[in-house]
Structure 1
Amino acid sequence: MPNSTAISPLTLKRMTALIAENSISSVLPEYDQSNEGVINLLASWCNDLGFDVSIMPIDDQPGKFNLLATYGQGSGGLVLSGHTDTVPCNPEKWTSDPFTLTERDGKLYGLGTCDMKGFFALALEAIEQVKHQTFHQPLMILATADEECSMSGARALSKQTGPNGRYAVVGEPSSLRPVRMHKGIIMDSIRVTGRSGHSSNPALGINAMDAVHDVMGELKALRLDLAERYQDAHFAVQTPTLNLGCIHGGDNPNRICGSCELAYDLRALPGMSNDDLREEIRRRMNPIAAQNQVELSFEQLFSGVEPFAESEHSELIKEAERLTGATSVAVNYATEAPFLQSLGMETVVLGPGNIDQAHQIDEYLALDQIEPCVNIVRNLIERFCLTPAHD
């Protein structure tokens, strides 16, 4: 266990316990784990602090849970939100055990230190510093399941008793710089079904791969069209992106390809709609099916995340900018922020650690992020929970 003086012993103990709990989420069953251990740790610590704790199973997801812990009464207040799962890892490639918190070179290494179990430990430290003061607005901790593979926990909020705060902080790694905009995500596939046959006579079948060639051409045309129609200078990549990610089809060179599937990733800008994009793609594909005499089927590989944008004039954004000394930014990755915003809360993404460390071998959280993060969270609690409402 690390002995660093840059982090309190209690916070170090909590972070060590969180990292030790394997809560990997994956679309592959052999890697997927329950997040119950992490939820139970957070529930115990929140109970000890006097929170009213509710653990909510996720429908149709055995072993997956959300947690909502509330301190104080009334409407409004602040939600500190994060996900409890991590991506899979390759322990044999790590310098140290990914499930053992390890300090070296001014960094805390472990799976989830940065993305994003570390945020919970630091948020609890901030709460320890203000827990004896008078709360005029409630403080809530929200912990979700399966953000890394399906976002089923965040989606379940609309069907369960979700937080009713006025402001929400999503503690994803942002290097403690406020994020007020990010792109959405669609991950879908198009399957083309033709008819197989002997390759010596093309008339014996209908080649699905030939049709997919046309599908790819239309998606590339759509990519150019979207880039001309939509731009946002806040983003490093200022246009929507459409990536042709993988293709599978056919079974032998001397056989007409009877079936072929193309999977792609589309990332939309704020102001665009995932549903509208999916409808446009279907509309563009219909003539291709007719021309090639094939059948097309569409599958959502991932339900998607809508683009996110919070107003630069938001009270929460302005406060986050004041506390960090940094102008809010736009990023290309996606978070649970739009789900919280849809519940009526002003929302910001703001957390310790660099996003470049997320999903990496030897993931770490730099020790110099810890004290600033605790101070920022404590000040947000003071501003939105300890100050009487002024509506």
Structure 2
Amino acid sequence: MQHTKIMLASQSIAKHRGIPMSSTPQTQLEAFVMNEHQSQYKLPSLHQMLQELVAARSVSSYTPSKDESNKAVIDLLCEWCENIGMTTHVQKVAEGKYNLIAQIVPNENQFDPNLKGIMFAGHTDTVGYMEDDWNTDPFDLKIINDEWFGLGVCDMKGFFPIALQAIAETLNEQGKDTLKAPITLIATSDEETTMDGARALSKLNIKSHQVIIGEPSDGQAIYAHKGVLTTKLIIKGVRGHASNPSLGANAIEAAHWVIGKVMDWKKEWQTTHVNHTFKIPHPTFNFGCIHGGDNSNVICDKCELMLDMRLLPNMPQAMLDQEFKQRLQGMEEAVPGTSLEIITQEFCPPYEETQVPAFSKLLTDLTQQPLVSTNFVTEAPFLQEQGHHPFILGPGSIDWAHKPNERLALSKIQPLINQLKACLKSIS
């Protein structure tokens, strides 16, 4: 692993800045706010780490004027990883966008080539925000009624201090010499938009790991989620005066035909593609946007549809591309003079992890709950494609992600630290 040190925003962030306190008794907060690790591998307090991460803006947006770099977050994580003896490598994904790969490798005489390492993974970016909708400053971490408030606290900057704390405590309690496989921490860019950070990791050829992705999972370990395919359908016709339909070809009429075919497809798959491990057991189809025409007395010459499809595991993109072509190929005949262009806007594959039963059992034992599936999308399929075995287990609830007053209950912190430490002990 290449060792790289980047000198970015954290050098200008004052250490030990003032910490906002609430009426919560100090005894409940002191482990998170007051104490630094006083052993060989030292970190700032959990509160200070999360406070600095929340203050480091890293919004991802498809709107260029709202899109922000994640360099400040990467720099903070890089510094803390090096403080606990991890080797760091920073990968440039795009201008202003970076991944961090930090790792501790066991001594050569302890290394077990048959044992997979443990990887803690997450994304450094957040969604955008409307400041007027927040009751607090979204970039200033606050404690209110035993909860942390701030943009990204559960989705998912809050995971990184917890993961680092688990690594530091494990090294202090056991020492590096007991490790038989690597400990790796991955921090990516652009999960909230393109997933380009997770895709870029494939260039690094990281040895296969068992992975915990720290997305908010409400205390349950997740082994599967649906995929998402976002498709733009561009229908072109011929413009003309509405008094004589033969003068043109109506793109809206062709769109009506297309929507009908997709709805037939939707109804068919509700019975032919079913997986009861999901709360909604079949693929879902949603037309979320339509634009077409400019006046009622003009034959519409262009209509655009946006379609969101949520997919079950084992539904690859190639299969979907073929389905689109087959099901919509009759449009030009049904509405002569029109044409159809199908553009894939986004594809995140579905994912299901069933290849590491021993680690699956460890997670069910630690959470005291069965593994579950979910409908939201993560970076898991991209890590899986790279040979890893990902599961999702993180603090907080997805119900507070992507909305004002995002929060994380303090009661969720210590149980997750203990669970991550147990995962690390499995490779000692």
TM-score higher than 0.5 here?
yes
Instruction: Report what 1:7 is aligned to.
Output: 32
1:232, CA displacement in angstroms?
1.0
The alpha-carbon deviation at position 273 of structure 1 amounts to: 1.7
Amino acid at match of 1:360: K
Matched residue, 2:140: 100
**Letter of the 1:86 counterpart:** T
2:246 maps to 1:213 = no
Moved more, 321-330 or 8-17: 8-17
Structure 1's unaligned 5+ residue stretches are 387-391
Partner of 1:39: 74
C-alpha separation between the residues in 2 aligned to 1:54 and 1:239? 41
Match of 2:232 among 183, 189, 196: 189
What is residue 316 of structure 1 aligned with on the other side?
359
Q: Give the alignment's TM-score, normalised by structure 2.
A: 0.87
- Aligned ranges 1:336-355 → 2 under 5 Å: 336-355=379-398
Greater shift in the superposed pair: 257-266 or 293-302: 293-302
Asked if 1:333 corresponds to 2:376, the answer is yes
Aligned to 1:389: none
Instruction: Name the counterpart of 1:30.
Output: 65
The one of 251, 276, 283 equivalent to 2:294 is 251
In the alignment, structure 1 residue 225 sits paired with structure 2 residue 225: no
AA partner of residue 97 (structure 2): K
* Structure-2 residue corresponding to 1:119: 159
3-state SS of paired residue (1:66) = strand
Instruction: Indicate yes or no: 2:200 matched with 1:200.
Output: no
Contact 1:98–1:110 (8 Å) recurs in 2: yes
Question: C-alpha root-mean-square deviation of aligned residues, in Å?
Answer: 1.4
Alpha-carbon distance change, 166 to 143 in structure 1, aligned in 2, over 3 angstroms = same
Residues 1:139 and 2:183 are matched in the alignment: yes
Which string of whole-angstrom CA distances, capped at 9 and with x for unpartnered residues, describes residues 116-167 of structure 1? 0000011111112112313221100001110011101111122x21431321
Q: What letter is aligned with 1:83? A: H
Alignment partners' CA distance in 2, 1:81 and 1:113: 15
| TM-score normalized by the length of structure 1 | 0.95
CA distance in 1, matches of 2:52, 2:146: 20
Question: Number of paired residues?
Answer: 381
Counterpart of 1:65 in structure 2 is 98
Show structure 2 runs of 5+ residues with no match. 1-18, 22-28, 35-44
**Deviation at 1:335?**
0.7
User: Any conservation in 1 of the 2:141–2:150 contact (CA below 8 Å)?
Assistant: yes
The answer to whether the 8 A contact 1:314-1:346 is kept is no
Instruction: Decide which moves more: 268-277 or 356-365.
Output: 268-277
Contact 2:355–2:389 (CA<8 Å) still a contact in 1? no
One-letter code aligned to 1:71: I
Deviation string 1:62-84 (CA, Å, 9 cap, x unpaired) is 11111100112455311100001
For the 8 Å contact 1:81–1:171, the answer to whether it is kept is: yes
1:21 correspondence with 2:56: yes
Shift of 1:334: 1.2
Residue 88 of structure 1: CA displacement? 0.4
Q: What amino acid is the match of 2:220?
A: R
Match of 1:83 among 103, 115, 123: 123
Q: Does 13-22 or 196-205 show the bigger shift?
A: 196-205
**Residue in 2 that maps onto 1:110:** 150
Matches of 2:322 and 2:92, distance apart in 1:
33
Q: Which residue of 2 aligns with 1:307?
A: 350
Q: Which residue of 1 aligns with 2:42?
A: none
Larger Rg: 2
* Residue aligning to 1:285: 328
Structure 1 residues 355 and 162: CA distance shift in structure 2, 3 A: farther
Distance (Å, rounded) in 1 between the aligned partners of 2:298 and 2:216: 49
Asked whether the 8 Å contact 1:66–1:153 carries over to 2, the reply is: yes
1:291 and 1:112 map into 2 onto residues whose CA distance is 49
Greater RCO, 1 or 2 (C-alpha within 8 Å, sep 6+):
1
